[in-house]
Structure 1
């Protein structure tokens, strides 16, 4: 997905809020000037996540903290773990456990420190209980279910901490081989190798992007991860950042995300806040 004017203003707004939370006011003028310089040189052939990588990386370096969202990641993971068994129990009592598992897994994508700038972590977790009543195209769910169980192996590209705990509900249903993908460097509250054990996901083979793009850059990610993705029968990509970077991926892919901006809303013809399941490159 190519960047647009809406993406520019969104990422800058997010970066300014991060700056105000993590850096002293006396640095704001200089930092804003430098961020505007970065914005002025932004290529319109790149993705929104390319721009985000530059600004968030700049602020991370300015703060001198490798993982500025460490506390938020730990909190979201802890809260999600407390809710996991309840969600599993509710799913088991529904008349369509697979469809409701997909809803919960997509619903977990609300836990996003990049786009949800004023996110209350506890409130976001509690909103997970609302997903059972949210619409999601049942025909798409059935198509996804068929492809899911027909695959011999799946590459599952994770997104955020907390959200990743709920991904376990879908992963547990798959009888074949699963490989996980994570970010290679700290960015926002995106999950890396460092958080897999706390999320209960350290029992799968894993590749990382070796990159701090909040998505999967097909140009910057390491070759081993890209090769593992391409060798899989099905790539499942969680979240909006992965959608923005993998919209040109030419192998079978299923995107599971919560729509958080007008640009993606228009691309998928669904309202903001909706649960979205998008499948491409299937014959």
Structure 2
């Protein structure tokens, strides 16, 4: 996705937030370095994913911490795990279990921090989880998802945040019931509060997927940094499932189809690019 002016303030707010997670003494230098990168890289033709990745990687060097979100990620997973009984009940009580699992996975997308329209702390989701599930989907392409879930079809599932990934596992279980070959893609190393291979292993994703593959610690996905094997999987997939705004920002400029985006529209630039309102729950297919 191409950058918009609003992306600059969003990135700086995130830099301030993650520096503060380590020590506020790093904030001034982190902001200055981020602004230097933005001064060089920002334009309306700049790729939002590539610029954000450069900013965050540099900030991590400044704050001398490769995983500043570690504590909040662990809390997110704990809170999400505590909500599993409610999520499973919601799914099991539904006449359409695939759709219910999609809803839970999208509700989990609120596990995002340091940006507008995110929750202030992981614990906040517990107060609103059931209500958000009951609200359902504002854009509902689950029937389009279903038509691609055929026996032995090749499905790629790109994860997003910690906490959220707990509910993704429930969705993966429902997807596997269709007899597909499911590959889950997670980060090899930390970036923001995104789930890594360590999180996937701790949560037992090997029980819910046929394979786990790795991507770099780019924001969303940097197609120049992924393995040749993963590139071939993307090109040959029968269905690509992408969680979160970062994955939308990465895939929206590519011609890979079919791809379905499961997310909350937490910022106006992404919402506008999708032709949707802000702050809604979306399961949108591009064919």
Tell me if TM exceeds 0.5. yes
Q: Does 1:171 align with 2:190?
A: no
SS of 2:226's partner is coil
Give the drift of 1:28: 3.6
Q: Which runs of 5+ in 2 are unaligned?
A: none
Aligned residues: 279
Q: Is the 8 A contact 2:245 2:263 kept in 1?
A: yes
Match of 1:98 in 2: 98
Distance 2:230 2:244 in 1: 18
**CA displacement at 1:138 relative to structure 2:** 7.3
Q: Are 2:183 and 1:184 aligned? A: no
Q: Is the 8 A contact 1:76 1:111 kept in 2?
A: yes
Q: How far 1:120 moved relative to its partner?
A: 1.2
Matches within 5 A, 1:30-179: 30-44=29-43, 45-113=45-113, 115=115, 119-136=120-137, 140-149=141-150, 152-173=153-174, 174=176, 175-179=179-183
Q: SS of the residue aligned with 2:285?
A: strand
Any conservation in 2 of the 1:103–1:132 contact (CA below 8 Å)? yes
Distance 1:101 1:229 in 2: 23
Q: Deviations over 1:156-201 (max 9, x none)?
A: 1111111011011221122221111112321011011111122221
TM-score normalised over the length of structure 2: 0.89
**For residues 118 and 86 of structure 1, do their structure 2 counterparts lie closer, same or farther at Cα, with a shift above 3 Å needed?**
closer
- Give the RMSD, CA atoms, in angstroms: 2.1
**What is the Cα deviation at residue 46 of structure 1?**
3.2
- 1:46-102 Cα offsets, whole Å, 9 max, x none, are 322222212221221112222111111111111111211221112211333222221
1:96–1:202 Cα change, 3 Å = closer
Report the counterpart of residue 286 of structure 2 in structure 1: 280
What residue is the counterpart of 1:249 in the other structure? 254
Say if 2:161 and 2:193, in contact at 8 Å, map to a contact too: yes
Q: Is the 8 Å Cα contact of residues 11 and 51 (structure 1) preserved in structure 2?
A: no
State the alpha-carbon separation in 1 of the partners of residues 119 and 90 from structure 2. 29
Does structure 2 conserve the Cα–Cα contact (< 8 Å) formed by 1:79 and 1:122?
yes
Residue 215 of structure 1 is matched in structure 2 by: 220
Structure 1 position 130, deviation (Å): 2.0
Identify if the C-alpha distance between structure 1 residues 34 and 162 changes in structure 2 by more than 3 Å, giving closer, same or farther.
Answer: same
Distance 1:187 1:36 in 2: 19
Instruction: Give 5+ residue unaligned stretches, structure 1.
Output: none
Alignment of 1:265 with 2:247, yes or no, is no
Which residue of structure 2 aligns with residue 19 of structure 1?
A: 19
Aligned to 2:242: 237
What SS does the aligned partner of 1:202 have?
helix
Say if 2:112 and 2:193, in contact at 8 Å, map to a contact too: yes
